[in-house]
A and B are shown apart, each in its own frame.
Chain A
Amino acid sequence: MIEGLLMGLGAAISPFNLIMVFIGCFLGTFIGMLPGLGPMSIIAIMIPIAIQIGDPASALILLSGVYYGAIFGGSTSSILINAPGVAGTVASSFDGYPMARAGQAGKALTIAAICSFAGGTIGAILLMIFAPVLSTVAKLFWSAEYFALMVLGLTAIAAFAGKGKIIKALCMTVFGVMLATVGESALHNAARFTMGIMDLQSGIYFVTLVMGLFALPEALFLVLDEKRSKAMANNNKIENLRISKEEAKEIAPVVARQSLLGFFVGVLPGAGATMASFLGYGIERNLAPAGEREKFGKGSIRGLAAPETANNAACTGSFVPMLTLGIPGSGTTAILLGALVALSITPGPRLMEDQPEVFWAVIISMYLGNIVLLILNLPLIPYIAKLLTVPRHYLIPFVIFFSLIGAYIGQNNATELLIMIGLGCMATILRFGGFPLPPLIIGFILGGMLEDNLGRAMRKAGGLEFMWERPMTLGILVLALALLVYPIVRDRKKVISE
């Protein structure tokens, strides 16, 4: 392994490659901030440039920098303006945005940068150690286990079920899964619930929904509630970037746990960063002490650290099936796989033996990408956070504009904008009624995968028997039920005793 690392270092550390990683991280961060342009689209855009470079190690280093930069950029827009452009950073907005609203935008971005770095770096170490073993474990997971894993991911909604809101949270989750069933599913060719609208044939576009549910209502609420938006403007002092010793102590175990969890979830093809971030968020809420648990969803540093660490570790974990089996575990790794093939590299079980320099260069590029991202972004945080000091009469139109254009550029279709505005008005009304919106988006994101895996498992087993006949499925489902019911019972007992 040491030999391989040295080989990778030799390939990766050259002035040209260091410039590549800087350019990649910089471009990734800034383009990633635009809602609608997630890592997948940015990497796809960068592939022709990477191919032009010619040298596989340099090309991979550039793409890896873009990848990590884009994820951090996505977290930045989630935290600052509540506009998560990609599913993997939705959970970061749950606590990151309330922190920014409370005048802690700089601190929130610092936590995001450090946790992303830690998650990515620990993930890269785990990748180095476990890659060959994990590829065989991942093969043990079938659709039944994936279905159970999706149900486990849904338990993250418990975090939004406080103060008698459990039924509202469940209602929103079901509503989110219902929206995910619009259009064609992977198992059936016929479109469902499209009402004859051709643009809904391929379903509701994720960015349209997320902008409609989060960014647009937030902008509308800032206009509606002038008192709150003025209080927010007074809170925009951004000198507070430092994390205190106590806070560092508080998030250290979260980072350790979520790096491991995120990495292992990322290894499973199809699970990826989104699943890891929701799972991480739900688990940390359950593990938090009673007082801290109440802060989840209102600006908890644990609530921000958990998804930020888990999604980065999962991104690294998703390289395991790609490099060792040649199976892309996520959309982004599918695009990277295409880039590798275009560079005449065949990922798979023989990659480590046939082209060890490429395998190790990918791993070293992950370390480099994470380090450069931290070096590049920490000094930039005060300037990025200054975005919030833009006067209210420009900030609000720009938030609305970025939400609209994010939905538009993804589909190049003006109907998406009208759907988004409709969803935004609906979400504003739901907020008035005290309905938590994160469960809706969790349901929507996991809904499609839930149906596909349930369908496959039921077709294979001939019914629902797989739930109790497969020990691993049963184990995960029991854990999911316990994670959902235990906090509800505990909160209920607390309310009764009070």
Chain B
Amino acid sequence: MARIDRYIAFGLLAFSVGYGYLAWVHPLLPFEVRMPFKPNTMPLGLAAFGILFSSLLLLLPSSNEIEKDAEGWRGFAWKNTALLIVLAIGYALLLRPIGFIASTTLFIVLSSRVLGETNIVRSISTGLISSGIIWYLVDDVLGIYLVALPAIIGGTP
């Protein structure tokens, strides 16, 4: 954990190599081959810089600050954070099928409960009122289409 910056540097190095490979094999049109600036000219340069900088990160000594920070990570609320990420993914997947108002209310109610809200009536009313206001503002006032209701009761996904 303390050497997380090394793992990230390794990930960036792998990314740069993969990016460079994709740039190298990028199919060029016949007229592009002799051009001074091709679609892969800058990507190849970027890949070279990416490989250089991430290699330097791997080779140079690690900063002590990261190791100090790692001490504080032990008390972190990992479970709640993971639950919130799952809820956000659920929101993304449900937004169209069940509509904006239901999905937003569900997200606000569940995420506020994860973070310690105990009053279910307050969380449901906060979710419903805020999603209703935002839906009205975005869809009705600004004219940006946002499906409000589930498809089975009138919403068009």
A→B interface (CB under 8 Å):
31, 34, 37, 45, 163-165, 167-168, 170-171, 174-175, 177-178, 181, 185, 187-188, 190, 192-193, 216, 219-220, 223-227, 391-394, 396-398, 400-401, 404-405, 408-409, 412, 414, 417-418, 421, 424-425, 429-430, 432-435, 450-451, 454-455, 458-459, 461-463
Contact = CB atoms under 8 A, between A and B. Distances in A.
Contacts of A424: 85
Judged by DSSP, the binding face of A is helix
A34 B111 CA distance: 20
Nearest to B122: A394
B142 A393 contact: no
Judged by DSSP, the binding face of B is helix
A393 B63 contact: no
B64 to A, nearest CB: 10
Nearest to A228: B72
Contacts of A425: 85
Most chain B beta carbons < 10 A, residue from A174, A185, A193, A435: A174
B69 A434 contact: yes
A444 B48 CA distance: 17
Contact of B37 (A409, A433, A454): A454
Contacts of B19: 178, 193
A231 to B, nearest CB: 13
Interface in B69-98: 69, 72-73, 75-78, 80-81, 84-85, 88-89, 91-93, 95-96
16 contacts: A170-B49, A174-B50, A178-B19, A178-B46, A181-B43, A181-B46, A187-B39, A188-B39, A190-B27, A224-B81, A227-B75, A392-B115, A400-B111, A424-B85, A435-B8, A458-B37
Contacts of B27: 190
Contacts of B130: 398
Nearest to B5: A433
Given A393-B116, A414-B92, A462-B36, A401 B76 contact: no
Nearest to A425: B85
Contacts of B47: 178
A181 B107 CA distance: 34
Given A225-B76, A433-B5, A433-B66, A167 B60 contact: yes
Contact of A434 (B15, B40, B65): B65
B85 A421 contact: yes
A462 B34 CA distance: 11
Contacts of A190: 26-27, 29, 39
A171 B53 contact: yes
B92 A224 contact: no
Contact of A167 (B37, B57, B92): B57
B117 A393 contact: yes
A393 B115 contact: yes
Contacts of A192: 22-23, 26, 39-40, 43
Given A177-B46, A393-B112, A397-B112, A421 B65 contact: no
Nearest to A415: B92
Nearest to B83: A223
Interface in B94-108: 95-96, 104, 107-108
B30 interface: no
A417 B85 contact: no
Contact of A418 (B36, B89, B126): B89
Given A31-B142, A163-B65, A398-B130, A174 B46 contact: yes
B17 interface: no
Interface residues on B, range: 35 or more
B126 A394 contact: yes
Given A409-B146, A418-B92, A224 B112 contact: no
A41 to B, nearest CB: 8
Contacts of B5: 168, 433-435
A251 to B, nearest CB: 30
Contact of B91 (A168, A404, A454): A404
Contacts of A400: 84, 88, 107, 111
Top 4 closest pairs, chain A to chain B, by CB: A417-B92, A393-B115, A397-B111, A433-B5
Given A167-B56, A167-B60, A216-B88, 6 more contacts: A175-B12, A178-B15, A178-B46, A192-B40, A408-B95, A450-B42
A455 to B, nearest CB: 4
Contacts of B32: 188
Contacts of A31: 137, 142
Given A193-B22, A224-B77, A396 B50 contact: no
Contact of B42 (A417, A454, A462): A454
A454 B35 CA distance: 13
B122 to A, nearest CB: 9
B154 interface: no
Nearest to B118: A393
Given A171-B53, A178-B19, A226-B77, A185 B4 contact: no
Contacts of A459: 35-37
Contacts of B12: 171, 175
A463 B35 CA distance: 9
A178 B36 CA distance: 20
Given A394-B126, A397-B107, A171 B112 contact: no
